[in-house]
Chains A and B, each alone.
Chain A
Amino acid sequence: MAFEGMIFAAIGCGCTVVPWLLSLIATMIYQPRKRKALLERESATSFVSGDALSTLSKPLGNREIREFRMMMSSVVMSPSWVQMWIGGIISLFGGEINVFTKVVDWARREAKQRLREQVSEAGFDGVINLRLETSMLTKTGGGKDRTSGVEILAYGTAIKY
């Protein structure tokens, strides 16, 4: 009996620990790699005058706009199981939940970078009137809504001088 009990305990323990462990390892391998790739992409897109994106409604110096097109890009990012779990624990104490800050910041950078790439691919010089929109995605399950990710939308008017 004691032996069987130990086996059940081991299985039970394994079932709870293994997914977390798996998630932890996956998170630690996958996310830094993606972030590094993003950083490389960010430094690869170079525009003549600094950053291509601007929140101003007119180009600096009132330069004449020859051509324009509205463009948008979006990305849905989700924290991993482990990050959700850590976030849940931190939120008991309050304060900054830096695991979530990291993910949302990453998503926003990704959305902006996609817009930059889209703009340079289409041969435009920059974007004015950039707006960033954040929204939560929820999923229904277990009788309550749970957050399944955050969507970042970046849109603006691409211009050619």
Chain B
Amino acid sequence: MQAAAPNLIFSNIETIPGMTISQSLGVVTGSTVRAKNVFKDIGAAFKNIAGGEIKAYTELLQESRNEALFRMLQDAAARGANAVVNVRFATSSVAGGAAELLAYGTAVIAQ
């Protein structure tokens, strides 16, 4: 995960251990809205007979969340930051069957 293209440090704690933050560059966000596909829905409906984990959805959401994180890092890189601190995730369903995954944090320059 840390190897996500723009080579930035990120964490969900307020500091970067071993470094001092010299400048804050504001809030950066990355988001993506995804819908599940119908075939996976059908598979999930069968899975619902016994309940439990629906792997197709787990993977889909993980993938999407990585995408959101990646976009956030790109945003931070575009601002000239070298780290993002206090990263948070949020999820909301916008329309039936679709979910918005949001990653946000504070872009900083750390030395």
Are A and B interaction partners? yes
Interface residue A98 (Cβ < 8 Å from any Cβ of B): no
Q: With A and B bound together, what is the CA distance between A86 and B93 in angstroms? A: 25
In-complex Cβ contact of B96 among A75, A110, A138, A157 (8 A)? A138
A-B residue pair count with CB separations less than 8 angstroms: 131
- Given contacts A68-B17, A76-B58, whether A83 and B51 have CB atoms under 8 Å apart is yes
Q: Which residues of B contact A129 (CB under 8 A)?
A: 12-13
Surface stretch bound by B, among A1-9, A44-52, A146-154 = A146-154
Q: B78 at interface (Cβ–Cβ under 8 A)?
A: no
**Taking chain A's interface residues, is the majority helix, strand, or loop, or is none over half, making it mixed?**
strand
How long is the Cα–Cα vector from A83 to B52 in the complex, in angstroms? 11
Q: Does A72 contact B (CB under 8 A)?
A: yes
User: Most A CB atoms within 10 A — which of B11, B12, B87, B91?
Assistant: B12
B residues adjacent to A (C-beta < 8 A): 1-2, 10-14, 17-18, 36, 41, 44, 47-54, 57-58, 61-62, 65, 87-93, 96-97, 99
